A and B are shown apart, each in its own frame.
Chain A
Amino acid sequence: MIETEPKGQMPGGPGGGKNIIVIEDLQKRFGHLEVLKGVDLKVDQGEVVVVIGPSGSGKTTMLRCINFLEEYNGGRIYVDGELVGYREKGGKLVRRSEGEIARMRADVAMVFQSFNLFPHMTALENVALGPIQVRKVPKDQAYEKAKALLARVGLADKLDSYPSKLSGGQQQRVGIARALAMEPKIILFDEVTSALDPELVGEVLAVMKQLAQSHGVTMLVVTHEMMFAREVANRVVFMDGGKVVEEGKPEELFSNPQTERLRTFLKRFFEH
């Protein structure tokens, strides 16, 4: 599966779209700890890719690198053909300016495990902040759109609530609306149900499922929800030890794992 064309512009994939993300030989170290040891991954426009793997396998770090919340030490990440975080100058990588990095981040939305809503803003303000301050959408227009998005995630009656007054599930749905408001090229979901009480997981997964089925939204989802992966993903990627070990269509990957590591991982999961 590992191809080496740079700046993926090839057609293909279930959405028939081009590669919106191309990751080549991505490496990341924290001090002496090597977290990513050469990750290769491509995501097509409109595709829903679910990343599974044991904790510490580098899934979250990979997502954070795509949004350049972490600098990476080796390899390349391209979003829509543009190198993330750096420019190539005479074979060397030079960090992009703050403004360029911000512009690229605006096109890559992220939903966080710990929600990270802005506690001093209402649900509506949380969703509208990016469009107003980054996209320079006029305020009334941005609030109209934020209202529609909050309605879409089932929170039409919580527009003026502060996050402290919302349940975890509701907060996370605001988080999803906030991501959608940027009309991003891709949304990264970082274990978005892991911090939720079990009875609240369903409402968040339902919103994500509905998003996935609406097409057009490209999703890269790190999760431990195997049922979600099985039902919703176009493709499942298994990471272990800082590398992509296996990937494929969910039905193939789950029923016929090719590697011992994936077999062990799935066994542990489905025994519980």
Chain B
Amino acid sequence: MQAILDNWPLLIDGLVVTIEISIYVIVFGTLIGLVGGLSLLYGGSVLRGLFRAYVDIIRGLPLLVTIFLIFYGIPAVGIPMDKFPAAVLALSFFAGGHMSEIIRGAVGSIPKGQMDAAASIGLTFFPRLRYVILPQAIRRIVPPWVNLCVELIKGTSLVSLVSITDLLLSAQQILERTAQPIPFYILTAAIYFVLCYSMATLGGRLEKRFAYYD
């Protein structure tokens, strides 16, 4: 107990890093996914092909391999990059691929007649998406989006393997000093659980909110 009290500031620092990475990755991943998903649906053949390849590659690689590839690959081709942005980039790249597929699926499931009706009142392409298609797609996006976000939060723990001091790595550093692995691992697990569980709860609420028109 005393060990926890002594070391909690360090743990909090790690937690902050984990939360920061999670937020960046969710935001960037969603943005990439929006562009990717819409390109897969409405893009020309070049754009579609590019994103198809991207999504297929991402889905075929373990996250840790993706992280290592980008983390060590980018400096190797001569682009200097700090550890933190490199890790965010790697995770976002992974997230974007999966988000693309989620958004493609949800938007593609909106009946074609909606696009027709929106077009027939004279809306151009982006207003059609904004006012008609996306507001309907969002409730179909939210459930798989939340699942992915939870996976991403858990996935951030892998950045400890490229020596970024996130929640997991800071816990490990503490327990190496205190030689009390069990309580610290339990504490770390509990914090991850709370993070992920609150994300899932938030998702449930969002889902209800976007179903207002039933």
Q: Spell out A's residues near B (CB within 8 Å).
A: 64, 67, 69, 98-99, 102-103, 105-110, 112, 114, 116-121, 129-130, 133-134, 162-164, 178, 182
* Chain A residues near B120 (CB-CB < 8 A): 67, 69, 105, 108-110
**Can you name the residue of chain B whose Cβ is closest to the Cβ of A162?**
B213
- Residues A133 and B123 in contact in the complex (CB < 8 Å), given A119-B136, A164-B214: yes
Contact between B213 and A116, CB atoms less than 8 A apart:
no
Contact between B127 and A112, CB atoms less than 8 A apart:
no
* Complex CA–CA separation, A121 to B121 (angstroms): 15
* Chain A residues near B136 (CB-CB < 8 A): 118-120
**Can you name the residue of chain B whose Cβ is closest to the Cβ of A117?**
B117
In the complex, whether B8 has a CB less than 8 A from a CB of chain A is: no
Residue from B111, B113, B124 within 8 A of A98 (CB atoms): B124
| Complex interface residues of chain B between 102 and 126 (CB less than 8 A to chain A) | 111, 113-114, 116-125
* Chain B residues near A163 (CB-CB < 8 A): 213
Q: Spell out B's residues near A (CB within 8 Å).
A: 111, 113-114, 116-125, 127, 131-132, 135-136, 212-214
* Complex CA–CA separation, A182 to B119 (angstroms): 13
**A-B contacts, CB under 8 A, total:** 70
List 6 interface pairs A-B (beta carbons < 8 Å), by A numbering.
A102-B119, A102-B122, A106-B122, A114-B111, A134-B123, A164-B214
Question: Within the complex, what minimum Cβ distance (angstroms) separates B106 from chain A?
Answer: 14
Question: Within the complex, what minimum Cβ distance (angstroms) separates A174 from chain B?
Answer: 11
Chain B CB within 10 A, most for which of A130, A133, A134, A162: A133
Question: Within the complex, what minimum Cβ distance (angstroms) separates A271 from chain B?
Answer: 33
Contact between A116 and B117, CB atoms less than 8 A apart:
yes
* Chain B residues near A119 (CB-CB < 8 A): 136, 213
